[in-house]
Structure 1
Amino acid sequence: MLAVFAKEAAKPPEELRLPAMASNNDPMMTPEEIVDKFKSLWPDSTVYNLPHGNFMALSHQQETPTHPRSIVVLDDIFCIFVGALANIAELRHHYGLQRQATEAMIVVEAYKALRDRAPYPPDQVVKDLDGKFAFTIFDARTNNLFVARDRDGGVNLEWGLASDGSLVCSDDLQIIREGCGKACSHFPQGCIFISGSGLTNFDHPLHKVRGIAHEDDSGNIFGVYFQVDLYTKIPSIPRRGSASNWADTAMIKGEQKL
């Protein structure tokens, strides 16, 4: 899978650029070149040209039964989902979805509940998903980006920057390294990224997730990784009924409106 989002829409973390800034010779591709490279590596891929110069692409080549890939488009929301949910039947029930609803459909419904029925803490959207997964959501109506990876890192997800500062996400390490050069990193497990508000760890939502530079013995930066800073807290909204399941709360409020 591949997702490329313009810098203005994604607002990627500046720490991703640190290794490239330390290197004088670090080739990086444009978003269009990265998409063309992906298509050359995966000829069966389908490319979606999204508004505002954004792209999504999906290939089923080398797909495994445990980590299937799927894409869904619902109400101008594009979602690529890789992996599987163990509690899919429970989540279908929570969101009032049919038995045929896929994992991608479920996370789109969860995102819509978050977007339309605020204030719900976004970390709860992902915390209730039990499984090995990574997903990328782009809301074409609001130009908003939502990326997440499970807490165990069961599905590979990389991210980096294109030559123009666009954010690139993929489960293909080769496309990230060739397209982003050194301006890339593993997407941190157990985290969500929302354009405009940045990275959050859904097990430690009140603490910042910081980019930390890898340095060699000479002090040269050769990589960056992201880690929860347990010593720094960030402001949060009050959480009413935080002990209850977020999906249950969303469904109750939805039923009251009917």
Structure 2
Amino acid sequence: MLAGFEKSTGKPPEELSLPWKGMPDLKTGEETVEIFRSWRPHSMLFNLPNGNSMALSHEDECPLHPRSIVVVDDVYCIFLGMLLENTCDLRSHYGLSRQVTEAMVVVEAYKVLRDRTPYPPDQVVRDLQGKFAFVLFDARANTLFIARDRDGCIPLQWRMARDGSLVCSDDPNVIAEACGNCCTFFPPGCIYMSGDHPLNKIRAITWEDDEGNISSVLFQVDLFTRLRSIPRTDSSANWAGVTTVDGE
């Protein structure tokens, strides 16, 4: 899969740009999408508003980590992996049929809680149990929502493209072609909502090569720095993903 969001939508953390400063061969977000399309000619491509895009291919798909995409009421979601044990409970809770996929469960949970604004964004994922990652885009609100399970079982990577856009993919070959090693894994057990309120600060830790150049960036949760957020009524211990990466 591949998802690309222009700068005003994706609002990627500035630290994502550190490893590639001065690299002339780094691709733009649009060029990265074209690389994916050329390598996965049978992929589904969604051209979204404001120059954003999402693409999905089932090529080389692992049976234990299937990929799916759904579109419901201008909400687009690419889901990687599987939910376990409580999928039936989630379908029942949101009044969904047995045929509803994991991606649709995520979309419906997002829509229900979105319409109860304001709400803590971790509510969408706190009841999800399994090995998963997803990228959700609300076209009406121009909002991006990314999450990964607490164990980081799905290899989701993100980076800032040369034009400042945000690119996410689980395809290491496409990432390597577009940006070499200038990429980092999305933090496990975290959620990202462009323009939302973080609960804890995510700090970027840089790694340098033998020549002193920044070769990679690792994002870690600073549990000792609590930020002001919207009021909460639930327990933040329910799911490790209550921490968000602030995109502003």
TM-score, with normalisation over the residues of structure 2? 0.90
2:83–2:102 Cα contact (<8 Å) kept: yes
Question: 1:114 offset after TM fit, Å?
Answer: 2.5
Q: Which runs of 5+ in 2 are unaligned?
A: 240-248
Secondary structure of the residue aligned to 1:127 is coil
Per mean C-alpha deviation after superposition, the further-off stretch among 123-132 and 77-86 is: 123-132
Structure 1 residues 71 and 46, CA, compared in 2 at 3 Å: closer, same or farther?
same
Q: Deviations over 1:140-189 (max 9, x none)?
A: 10111001111101111000122211100000112122223454211111
Q: Deviations over 1:180-235 (max 9, x none)?
A: 3454211111111111137x5xxxxx321111111235532111010011221111
Per mean C-alpha deviation after superposition, the further-off stretch among 94-103 and 174-183 is: 174-183
Q: Which runs of 5+ in 1 are unaligned?
A: 201-205, 247-258
Structure 1 residues 165 and 183, CA, compared in 2 at 3 Å: closer, same or farther?
farther
Structure 1 residues 226 and 245, CA, compared in 2 at 3 Å: closer, same or farther?
closer
Q: Deviations over 1:111-135 (max 9, x none)?
A: 1122111232112321210000010
2:182–2:215 Cα contact (<8 Å) kept: no
- Give the partner amino acid of 1:222: S
1:155 aligns with 154
- Give the partner amino acid of 2:58: H
1:26–1:181 Cα contact (<8 Å) kept: no
CA RMSD across the alignment = 2.0
Structure 1 residues 95 and 244, CA, compared in 2 at 3 Å: closer, same or farther?
farther
2:5–2:52 Cα contact (<8 Å) kept: yes
1:15 aligns with 15
Question: 1:6 offset after TM fit, Å?
Answer: 0.3
Within 5 Å, give how 1:46-195 maps onto structure 2. Answer: 46-86=44-84, 87-195=86-194
1:254 aligns with none
Within 5 Å, give how 1:208-227 maps onto structure 2. Answer: 208-227=201-220
1:10–1:196 Cα contact (<8 Å) kept: no
Query: How far apart are the structure 1 equivalents of 2:174 and 2:44?
Result: 16
- Give the partner amino acid of 1:25: M
- Give the partner amino acid of 1:43: P
Q: 1:237 aligns with which of 218, 230, 234?
A: 230
1:35 aligns with 33
1:79–1:108 Cα contact (<8 Å) kept: yes
Q: Deviations over 1:6-31 (max 9, x none)?
A: 0011111000001112xx33411122
Query: How far apart are the structure 2 equivalents of 1:114 and 1:27?
Result: 42
Structure 1 residues 192 and 93, CA, compared in 2 at 3 Å: closer, same or farther?
same
Structure 1 residues 239 and 175, CA, compared in 2 at 3 Å: closer, same or farther?
same
Structure 1 residues 208 and 244, CA, compared in 2 at 3 Å: closer, same or farther?
closer
Secondary structure of the residue aligned to 2:82 is strand
Secondary structure of the residue aligned to 2:12 is coil
Per mean C-alpha deviation after superposition, the further-off stretch among 218-227 and 80-89 is: 218-227
Greater helix proportion: 1
Question: 1:244 offset after TM fit, Å?
Answer: 11
- Give the partner amino acid of 2:100: A
Query: How far apart are the structure 2 equivalents of 1:63 and 1:218?
Result: 38
Does residue 228 in structure 1 map to residue 215 in structure 2?
no
2:20–2:26 Cα contact (<8 Å) kept: no
- Give the partner amino acid of 2:19: P
Q: Could you tell me the percent identity over the aligned residues?
A: 61
